[in-house]
Amino acid sequence: MSKEKLGLNTICAHVGEVKDEQFKGAVSPMFLSSSYEFLDVDVKRYPRYFNTPNQEYLAKKIAALEHTEAALIFGSGMAAISHMFLAFLQKGDHLVVQNTLYGGTVNFIKEEFPKYGIEYTFTNGYKVEDFEAVIQPNTKLIHIETPSNPLLTITDIKAIAELGKSKSILTSIDNTFASPVNQNPIDLGIDMVMHSATKYFGGHSDICAGAVASSQEHIDRIWNVSKNLGGSLSDMTVWLLERSMKTLGLRVKTQTKNAMKMAKWLNKHPKISKVYYPGLKSHPEHKLAKSQMKGFGAMLSFELVNGLDAYQFQKSLQLIKSSMSLAGVESTVISPHLTSHALLSQEERDKVGISDQLIRFSVGIEDVEDLKQDIDNAIAALI
C-alpha cells in the first residue's frame, strides 16, 4: 500500500512504527542506545545523526503527513527553523520573510543573521505583492507563516510558491498553526515545511520538539548542517511524540470544529467587538483560506469591548487557562500585548493591530458549551 494513498488517521496511527520483532508488542519499542554497532552495518547510528530507530521512523510519519519524501525531527521548533535557514543561507545571501511571524523566529533572524553576514528583509504585509516588492538579486529563500499569529492573516501559499519558482528562489512555510490536518503546503508548491512539534504534534503541552519536511535532497542538505549544530531530540521524547501523533487527526479535527463554533458564537457576543478567524465569512481572506486549507484551524483571536479589562478577564476564567503556549487538548488564552508583543511601544502595537483588548484563543477539545459558559461567567464577573 502506498503511503500517499492512506488516510490521515491511518497515517497517524500506523506509519513510522518501529516493529517490535523480538516480542511482537503492539507499539514501537523505545531505543535509548546512544551507541550502536559500527562494523559491517549499512547505517552508522548515533542520536546526533538523527538516525536512531525511533527518530528515523517517526520522521517517516511526519513526511507522510506533509506529503514529502523525508523529514528531520529536532529538539524544538526553533532548532528546526534555525537549521533550515542555516542550511540554505550563507554569507551574502538574502532572506525575504513575512513581517507577521512567530516572535522567536524574528529574534533569531535579527540577533543571529548579522553574525553570519546573512541579509534579510521583513515584508510590509502578508500579500504576494509585499513579498515580490522586497526580492533582491541575492534572495535565496522566501519564508511565510499562514495563518499568522495572532491576527490569523492568510497568505496565498500557491502564489508564493509560484513567485519563488519563477525567480529560482526556494520557499518555506511555518505550518505550525494549521498542522498537516488542515493544510498541506507541499501540494501547493512550497519547497519546505517546518513545525513546532511542541504545539499540535505534541498536543498535550508536555513536549518540546520541532520538525522539517521536504524532498530527500533538501533534507540531506539540512542534515549536513544539523549534524554539526546538534539539536536532535532525545529518543524518550521522540517516543512520546509518536504516541501523541497517533491522535493528531482526531484532536485537531475536534479542535477545529470547536474553534468554528466558538468563533461564530463570539462573533455574535455583545461584549466581544471583533473576532479574527479565517473560517468566518467576515474574514478578509476567507475565500483564500477556503481554497488552500482543509479546515480553518483551531486558533482564533477576539477583542473584548472597551471597558472590559483583558487582564481581569483572563484571571476570571476558570476552565480556560491563561498560558503562553498553544495547541494542547486544553483551551488556553493569552494577551498578545502582555506577552509576544510586550516589547513593542503602544504606537507600534497600534500599527500592527494588537490592541490591549485582544485575546488569542487556542481552542481545545472540551465541550463548547462549557467553554461558552466559562467565557460568559468571566465577563459577568467584570461587569
Ligand X SMILES: *Cc1c(COP(=O)(O)O)cnc(C)c1O
Could you list the active site residues? 48, 102, 174, 199
18/89 Cα distance (integer angstroms): 34
β-pair partners for 143: 97, 172
Phi and psi (nearest 5°) for 290?
A: -65, -35
Q: Which is nearer to ligand X, 50 or 177 (CB)?
A: 177
Among 18, 10, 67, CA closest to 250:
10
Q: 286: burial class by Cβ within 10 Å (0-12, 13-18, 19+)?
A: middle
Residue 93 found at the interface with ligand X (CB under 6 A): no
What nine digits make up the cell of 197? 512539534
Is the CB of 188 or the CB of 193 nearer to ligand X?
193
Residue number with the smallest Cβ distance to ligand X: 77
Query: With binding defined as CB under 6 A, does residue 211 bind ligand X?
Result: no
Residues near ligand X (CB under 6 A), total: 14
Residue that is written with C-alpha cell 490521515 in the block: 8
102 contacts ligand X (rule: CB under 6 A): yes
Identify whether 150 is preceded by a cis peptide bond (ω within 30 of 0).
yes
Interaction residues for ligand X, span 141-170 (CB under 6 A): 149
Say whether residue 361 binds ligand X (CB under 6 A): no
Considering only 16, 47, 77, 364, the residue that binds ligand X (CB under 6 A) is 77
Least Cβ distance, residue 85 to ligand X (angstroms): 12
Are the C-beta atoms of residues 169 and 210 closer than 8 Å to each other?
A: no
Near ligand X by CB under 6 A: residue from 28, 123, 196, 214? 196
In which element (H, E) is residue 211 found?
strand 210-214
Of 31 and 74, which has the nearer Cβ to ligand X? Answer: 74
Binding pattern for the stretch 30-49 against ligand X, x by CB under 6 A and - elsewhere: --------------------
Please, which residue, 211 or 304, has the CB nearer to ligand X? Answer: 211
192's enclosing H/E stretch is strand 192-196
Footprint on this chain of ligand X (rule: CB under 6 A): 76-78, 102, 104, 149, 174, 176-177, 196, 198-199, 208, 210
